[in-house]
Amino acid sequence: MNQTGLQSLLSDLPLGGVRYFATLGSTNEFAKRWADQSAPALSLVVADEQTAGRGRLQRRWFTPRGAALAFSLILIPRIGRGQDGILPYRYTALGALATCEALNTLLPPGNPAQIKWPNDVIVSRRKLAGVLAEAGWQGEQLDTVILGIGINVAPSAVPPDEVLHYPATCVEAEAGAPVERWELLHAVLERLLFWNARLDTPEFLEAWNDRLALRDEWVQVTFDDGSPLEGQVLGLSEDGCLRLRDRQGKTHELTGGELNVRPVGRS
């Protein structure tokens, strides 16, 4: 792939600018700088290899050459904080939902990609893609969202076991066939643009809820301050929070934290 090839591949999509890099530190970092310099809305940054790819919770994201998809889309929503700060979660879900839908055209129907709330895309309890949505605020206005997505396409994109926080897999292993990376990129972007125009609709929430992984299972959530909560996954609330029922029967609605599967021996 190269800059001209990528532009031509994506010419049927209503994107802003498109930038391709054979090697880049992080597409999210580049996109942030570009957004600060007035990038048009829906501009896209793609890298074949990232040398400083970033995941959630200050983790590194592994993107070796020729094996993965790593890209960031610049969204300029310019909307008020209004809905109590939940909007950035919707963007994370947008990335995960679009990725699931594109992947599910390649995966066996009995083994679909699902969303491990809030930002992982998993198949058979293994992660094959992650989303990092970074919000830029201007006072009370959500000005920019950098929506970064990383997908493990070929086996060499799967990080070594010693750096994994969650079991991982790749699209080719789950599809049982070689996958054309750039066609997959086109498919994900097509779904991203579709759902981005419908973010505040009941259909978006329904599609997100339908793809939610670990429903009815007992899981442990670890909050950013390290405190844990154990509960059974009930689904999403109307505003996209994760609903969990704890052992005392109390329902919690979560907007943050990291969802970890924990074998608690109770269903």
Contacting residues toward ligand BTN, per CB under 6 A: 26-28, 50, 53-56, 59, 61, 63, 70-72, 119-120, 130-132, 148-150
Query: Of 80 and 256, which has the nearer Cβ to ligand BTN?
Result: 256
Q: Least distance in Å: CB of 194 to ligand BTN?
A: 20
Query: Of 148 and 240, which has the nearer Cβ to ligand BTN?
Result: 148
What is d(CA 186, CA 11) in angstroms, rounded to the nearest whole number? Answer: 10
For the chain, the distance separating the N- and C-terminal CA atoms, rounded to the nearest angstrom, is 48
| Neighbour tally for 6: CB within 10 Å | 19
Structure tokens at 98: 């679009």
Q: What is the dihedral of CA 171, 174, 175, 181, to 10 degrees?
A: 10
Structure tokens at 227: 């405190």
Q: Least distance in Å: CB of 52 to ligand BTN?
A: 7
Query: Of 16 and 55, which has the nearer Cβ to ligand BTN?
Result: 55
Q: Least distance in Å: CB of 153 to ligand BTN?
A: 12
Exposure string of 252-262, with b = 16+ CB inside 10 Å and e = fewer, is eebeebbbebe
Q: Least distance in Å: CB of 267 to ligand BTN?
A: 27
| Neighbour tally for 133: CB within 10 Å | 26
Query: Of 55 and 112, which has the nearer Cβ to ligand BTN?
Result: 55
Query: Of 54 and 232, which has the nearer Cβ to ligand BTN?
Result: 54
Q: Least distance in Å: CB of 31 to ligand BTN?
A: 8
Residue showing the smallest CB distance to ligand BTN in the complex: 130
